[in-house]
């Protein structure tokens, strides 16, 4: 017998199977070590085919097989090939996405503990305590340990050592006498284990509107083929209750469920709800967990101990069997698209897995992606509307504040008079507020008043952001992480007249603390929410009333349900409107709609104060009205006119190099190759090509970048074209070509 093996960590043009001799113990889907090249260096790979018959001469044997805990079944292996073909990644890159992090290390991150168990009957142990002389136990520590074990015959070793007067030496002494034995057991690391201690078995009560929505979802779920539905509900309509009811039905049928959330910050709220309902049947997967915790979750899932997986994007690869439903909550969010190879969208992977299992893909959002709503309107997805807030609660009213007028009145602070008044009233009523600002740091840039020089990152073509600290502050690059102390003078002209321009969450926090001394402000952004479960703790603290104002970036804007929040403030509503991207209006509308929807969820009368320098902008106006369908009609008409998605696919080809001259030559060569191919064998397909031109941020981490953009329809032929380009540029030593199909930004 011999087998085909795809190697990990090979360039695109070498991503093909290699033949090796194998034994009968090797199976398709095994992760193996194989000798490769003239030096026979051991490389990791995956067995993709077992072949019978006479093997070709000169084949090398497979060296070894990884433990089967990380072997891939047929569905997971098929999913890797789907990712390879659909996203133009290598099979190794796809495998690394599917397997838990650290799975391919030589020492997998397993945790094994020890239990201490009485090796004699309890009666004999009690007699031993009473015995005197050599037959008895004179050590007080040993006696304390034995007394503890009489009441708890099997206990964790660490718990035994924690008993008063007991040490590891006492365990060793009793083990040598044969009184106790030590045995190893697998310790599963689950930081959310305590969430399941309090169980909620109360029935889910739906409103009339929710019942109608649920019955439609149940009808789709009951069909034998794969289906897709879009649960389109206004903010506060109770989509989660409808989803839980559908999950109840799916689990009751003995099938499993994946539920995706877009942000780690949303995970604790969601996990708490579902763990209290489904207990140990839930596993959680997201990037803030340690490698060991994610491996443990993966093993529990694969062993069939779990039938509900909750997590961020990577949870879509959970090795569940018999999937009945995949839920993608807040499906419009950009975090569902990977920016690392394989550059997949979780929605596409969900569709693939649902097709394999005959399952329901349930998308949910108050502001669906334009492409998703178009599919729902055209019948590819089933539209399930939910148009009213749960419990009869009204939508919050929104007030737009013209910040140009604030400046004319002499207010140069980040907080308008209207927002300050509203915050004061919230404090007087003992309620809570959320303030959203999509910019970290203190000042967005520092410039010299004398020569106009802006302090920029030496490694990237962006300005440095000022962050305060106890030592006078630092300048930080939000792209590469470069950090330097704030200089006392301009490096260009030597002037000490430096100007701090713009503001971020840090500066806004200081302003709120200064002007509202009786209110407690909690800032939640990438600078404060560090460490595992940091989001969980901060959100729990805010929900329990330890802060009056929650200030933060996008992580405070979406999906949270805080009953005491009656006010939402948006400090700068137009920051995302004027970027060079055809999705700018869609992102701004979605973000504003979501953050406005955080207000007044438990009572009537929620208020949103929207600060902007563009008060007449149609996107801002419709977001304040929470009128998605009017926004959609205008946006889809514009995209149809300009041939943007969903009426075409977009492909971005990015060249990067540390050598600007080599980059310019490679860009010309790429352009010539594309044009040549389109004039030749690919001429029958419609392509519109733009570029080459500099990327929006030309230099990142000492790499210069140029790009081309292609409008086309993605199919087998067009993917073949882009695959050929990747192969042809893979041997270029000076430049790297990356291809992103339907990228986040264009």
Q: DSSP assignment of 418-441, as one string? A: HHHHHHHHHHHTT-EEEEE-S--S
**Does residue 646 have a cis peptide bond before it, meaning omega lies within 30 degrees of 0?**
yes
Give the pLDDT score at 107: 60
Give the pLDDT score at 95: 96
Beta carbons of 382 and 232 less than 8 angstroms apart: no
Q: What percent of the chain has pLDDT over 90?
A: 70
**Choice between 601 and 347, residue whose per-residue pLDDT is larger:** 347
What does the alpha-carbon distance between residue 378 and residue 362 come to, in Å, rounded to a whole number? 17
What does the alpha-carbon distance between residue 593 and residue 330 come to, in Å, rounded to a whole number? 12
Q: What percent of the chain has pLDDT over 70?
A: 97
**Exposure string over 386-419, b if 16+ CB within 10 A, otherwise e:** bebbbeebebbebebbebeebeeeeeeebbbebb
- Model confidence at 539, pLDDT cuts 50, 70, 90, reads confident
204-392: CATH number? 3.40.50.300
- Model confidence at 189, pLDDT cuts 50, 70, 90, reads confident
- Model confidence at 532, pLDDT cuts 50, 70, 90, reads low
Beta bridge partners of 552: 436, 524
- Of 201-205, 249-253, 386-390, 565-569, which range is least confident? 386-390
Residue 265 has pLDDT above 70, yes or no: no
Residue 269 has pLDDT above 80, yes or no: no
Residue 172 has pLDDT above 70, yes or no: yes
Same fold, 397-442+503-639 and 649-741: no
- Of 16-25, 102-111, 692-701, 732-741, which range is least confident? 102-111
What does the alpha-carbon distance between residue 327 and residue 311 come to, in Å, rounded to a whole number? 11
For 381-404, write each residue's pLDDT tens digit. Answer: 999 999 888 777 777 899 999 999
What does the alpha-carbon distance between residue 433 and residue 565 come to, in Å, rounded to a whole number? 5
Residue 529 has pLDDT above 90, yes or no: no
Alpha helix segments (H runs only) across 520-659: 534-543, 584-596, 618-625, 628-642
Query: What are the angstrom distances between the C-alpha of 588 and each of 231, 525, 606, 622?
Result: 21, 19, 21, 11
For 294-320, write each residue's pLDDT tens digit. Answer: 988 998 999 999 999 999 999 999 999
Residue 108 has pLDDT above 70, yes or no: no
pLDDT, mean over the chain: 91
Q: Is the pTM of this model over 0.85?
A: yes
Give the pLDDT score at 2: 94
Residue 186 has pLDDT above 80, yes or no: no
Q: DSSP assignment of 468-515, as one string? A: --TTS-EEE-TTT--EEEPPSS-TTT----EEEES--HHHHHHHHHHH
For 202-212, write each residue's pLDDT tens digit. Answer: 899 999 999 99
Residue 199 has pLDDT above 70, yes or no: yes
**Choice between 345 and 53, residue whose per-residue pLDDT is larger:** 345
For 582-632, write each residue's pLDDT tens digit. Answer: 999 999 999 999 888 888 765 656 899 999 999 999 999 999 999 999 999
CATH 3.30.70.600 fits 649-741, yes or no: yes
- Of 95-99, 427-431, 592-596, which range is least confident? 592-596
Residue 414 has pLDDT above 80, yes or no: yes
Instruction: Select the highest-mean-pLDDT range: 180-189, 497-506, 603-612.
Output: 497-506
Give the pLDDT score at 106: 66
What is the pLDDT averaged over residues 160-167? 91
Pick the CATH number of 397-442+503-639 from 3.40.50.300, 3.30.565.10, 3.30.70.330, 3.90.1150.10: 3.40.50.300
Give the pLDDT score at 19: 96
Residue 470 has pLDDT above 80, yes or no: no
- Model confidence at 355, pLDDT cuts 50, 70, 90, reads very high
Residue 187 has pLDDT above 80, yes or no: no
For 483-499, write each residue's pLDDT tens digit. Answer: 999 998 999 999 999 99
Q: Tell me which H or E stretch contains 274.
A: helix 267-278
Query: For the chain, what are the domain ranges?
Result: 2-98, 112-186, 204-392, 397-442+503-639, 649-741
Give the pLDDT score at 154: 87
For 30-64, write each residue's pLDDT tens digit. Answer: 999 999 999 999 999 999 999 988 889 999 999 99
Give the pLDDT score at 81: 98
Give the pLDDT score at 602: 59
What is the pLDDT averaged over residues 142-147? 93
Residue 472 has pLDDT above 90, yes or no: no
What is the pLDDT averaged over residues 687-716? 95
Beta carbons of 418 and 401 less than 8 angstroms apart: yes
Shortest CA distance to 480 belongs to which of 314, 239, 255, 699? 699
What is the pLDDT averaged over residues 699-726? 96
Please identify, in words, the CATH class of the domain defined by 2-98. Answer: alpha beta
């Amino acid at each position: 017998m011999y087998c085909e093996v795809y190697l990990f960590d090979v360039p695109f043009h070498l991503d093909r199977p290699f033949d090796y001799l194998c034994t009968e113990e090797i199976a398709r889907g095994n992760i193996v070590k194989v000798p490769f090249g003239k030096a026979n260096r051991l490389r990791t790979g995956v067995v993709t085919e077992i072949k019978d018959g006479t093997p070709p001469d000169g084949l090398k044997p497979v060296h070894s097989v990884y433990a089967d805990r990380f072997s891939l079944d047929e569905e997971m292996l098929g999913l890797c090939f789907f990712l390879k073909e659909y996203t133009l990644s290598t099979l190794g890159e796809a495998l690394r996405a599917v397997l838990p992090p650290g799975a391919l290390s030589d020492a997998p991150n397993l945790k094994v503990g020890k239990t201490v168990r009485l090796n004699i009957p309890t009666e004999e142990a009690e007699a031993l305590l009473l015995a005197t002389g050599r037959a008895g136990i004179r050590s007080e520590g040993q006696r304390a340990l034995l007394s503890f074990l009489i009441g708890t015959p099997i206990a964790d070793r660490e718990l035994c050592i924690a008993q008063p007067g007991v040490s590891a030496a006492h365990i060793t002494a009793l083990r040598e006498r044969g009184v106790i034995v030590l045995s190893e057991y697998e310790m599963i690391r689950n930081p959310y284990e305590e969430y399941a201690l309090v169980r909620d078995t109360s029935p889910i009560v739906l409103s009339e509107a929710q019942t109608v929505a649920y019955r439609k979802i149940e009808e789709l779920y009951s069909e034998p083929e794969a289906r897709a539905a879009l649960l389109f509900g206004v903010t506060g309509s109770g989509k989660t209750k409808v989803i839980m009811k559908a999950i109840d039905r799916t689990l009751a049928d003995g099938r499993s469920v994946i539920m995706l959330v877009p942000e780690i910050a949303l995970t604790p709220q969601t996990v708490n709800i579902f763990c209290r309902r489904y207990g140990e049947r839930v596993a959680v997967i997201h990037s803030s967990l340690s490698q060991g915790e994610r491996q443990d979750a993966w093993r529990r899932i694969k062993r069939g101990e779990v039938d509900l997986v909750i997590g961020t994007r990577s949870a879509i690869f959970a090795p569940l069997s018999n999937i009945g439903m995949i839920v993608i909550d807040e499906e419009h969010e950009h975090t569902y698209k990977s920016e690392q190879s394989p550059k997949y969208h979780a929605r596409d992977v969900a569709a693939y897995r649902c097709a394999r299992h005959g399952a329901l893909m349930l998308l949910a959002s108050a502001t669906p992606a334009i492409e998703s709503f178009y599919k729902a309107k055209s019948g590819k997805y089933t539209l399930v509307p939910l148009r009213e807030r749960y419990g009869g609660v009204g939508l919050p009213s929104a007030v737009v504040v013209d910040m140009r007028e604030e400046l004319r009145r002499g207010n140069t602070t980040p907080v308008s008079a209207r927002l300050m008044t509203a915050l004061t009233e919230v404090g007087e009523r003992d309620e809570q507020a959320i303030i959203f600002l999509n910019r970290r740091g203190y000042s967005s840039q520092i410039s010299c008043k004398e020569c106009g020089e802006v302090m920029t990152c030496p490694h990237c073509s962006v300005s440095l952001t000022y962050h305060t600290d106890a030592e006078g502050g630092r300048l930080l690059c939000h792209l590469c992480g470069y950090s330097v102390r704030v200089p006392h003078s301009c490096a260009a002209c030597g002037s000490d007249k430096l100007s701090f321009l713009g503001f971020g969450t840090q500066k806004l926090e200081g302003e709120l603390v200064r002007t509202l001394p009786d209110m407690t402000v909690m800032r939640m952004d990438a600078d404060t929410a560090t460490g595992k479960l940091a989001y969980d703790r901060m959100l729990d603290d805010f929900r329990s009333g330890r802060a009056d104002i929650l200030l933060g970036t996008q992580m405070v804007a979406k999906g949270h349900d805080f009953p005491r929040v009656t006010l939402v403030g948006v400090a700068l509503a137009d920051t995302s409107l004027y970027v060079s991207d055809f999705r700018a209006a869609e992102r701004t509308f979605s973000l504003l709609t979501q953050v406005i929807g955080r207000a007044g969820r438990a009572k009537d009368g929620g208020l949103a104060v929207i600060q902007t320098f563009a008060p007449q902008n149609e996107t801002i106006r419709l977001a304040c009205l929470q009128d998605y369908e009017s926004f959609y009609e205008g946006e889809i008409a514009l995209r149809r006119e300009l041939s943007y998605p969903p009426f075409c696919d977009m492909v971005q080809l990015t060249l990067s190099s540390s050598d600007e001259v080599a980059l310019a030559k490679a860009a010309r060569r790429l352009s010539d190759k594309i044009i040549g191919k389109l004039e030749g064998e690919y001429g029958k397909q419609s392509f519109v090509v733009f570029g080459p031109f500099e990327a929006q941020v030309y230099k990142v981490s000492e790499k210069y970048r140029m790009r081309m953009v292609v409008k086309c329809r993605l199919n087998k032929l067009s993917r073949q074209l882009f695959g050929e380009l990747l192969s042809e540029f893979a041997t270029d030593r000076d430049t790297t070509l990356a291809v992103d199909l339907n990228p986040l930004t264009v």
